[in-house]
Amino acid sequence: MIERYTLPEIGNVWTEEAKYRAWLKVELAVCRARAELGEIPSNEVEELAEKADFSVERIHEIEAETSHDVIAFVTNVAEHAGDVARHFHFGLTSSDVLDTAGALQLRDALVLIRREAKNLTLLLTEMALEHRNTVMVGRTHGVHAEPMVLGHKLAVWAFEMERNLERLA
C-alpha cells in the first residue's frame, strides 16, 4: 500500500504487526479446538495463549537464517511461550495459517470499506436532494449534450453504491 494514499485505519489492518497478530489468532484458535477435542490439555492451551507473543524484528532475524516466514514466526512465539509451544502449529501447514489469517484481515478491511461506502452513499443521497434543481451540461461521447439535472446524476451514483453494498453484504 502506498502510505500517503492510505487511511490509517485501513492501513493498520495490513501492517506486518497485524499480519502476525492474525497468524497468532489462527494458531491459538486451532490449539483451542484441539483442546476441545481432548487432544491437548486445555490448561496448557491457556498458558500458551497467555505467553504467546512475538517481535517483528526478531521474526526478521530468524527469517534471515531460515528463509521461511512461518518458521521464523513459530520459532519466535516458541521463544516466548516455552514448553507449551510444542502444541503451537502442530498439524498445520504454512498455507493453513496464511490463508486463514489473510481471510481474517480481509474481513476486517471489508468492515471498514463497507462503513465508508455507506457514508458515501448517504453523502450522495444528501447531495442529490440538495441539487435536485441544479441544471448542468450533459455529456455524451466526451462532448456536451442536452442539459440534465445534477441531482439525478448524484442519485444514480447513490443507487449504484447501494447495489455495491448489497454485493459486499
The 3-state DSSP class for residue 140 equals strand
Cell numbers for 68: 521461511
Share of the chain above pLDDT 90, in %: 97
At 155 the pLDDT is 98
As a whole number of angstroms, the distance between CA 137 and CA 26 comes to 54
**Do residues 86 and 31 make contact, with C-beta atoms less than 8 angstroms apart?**
no
Mean pLDDT of 27-41: 98
105 in any annotated domain: no
CATH number at residue 26: 1.10.275.10
Per-residue confidence at 1, pLDDT binned at 50, 70, 90?
A: confident
Tell which of 27, 61, 92 closes a domain. 92
Cell numbers for 151: 441531482
Alpha-carbon torsion (110, 116, 121, 124), positive or negative: negative
At 47 the pLDDT is 98
As a whole number of angstroms, the distance between CA 126 and CA 115 comes to 17
Query: Do 78 and 5 sit in the same domain of this protein?
Result: yes
Query: Do 129 and 84 sit in the same domain of this protein?
Result: no
Pairing, β 135-140 against β 143-149: antiparallel
The count of domains in the chain is 2
Query: Do 77 and 140 sit in the same domain of this protein?
Result: no
Query: Do 83 and 145 sit in the same domain of this protein?
Result: no
Write out the H or E segment, with its range, that includes residue 168: helix 150-168
The 3-state DSSP class for residue 89 equals coil
61 in any annotated domain: yes
Question: Does the pLDDT at position 74 exceed 90?
Answer: yes
99 in any annotated domain: no
Mean pLDDT of 25-45: 98
Query: DSSP state, 87?
Result: G
**Range of the structural domain that residue 57 is part of:** 1-92
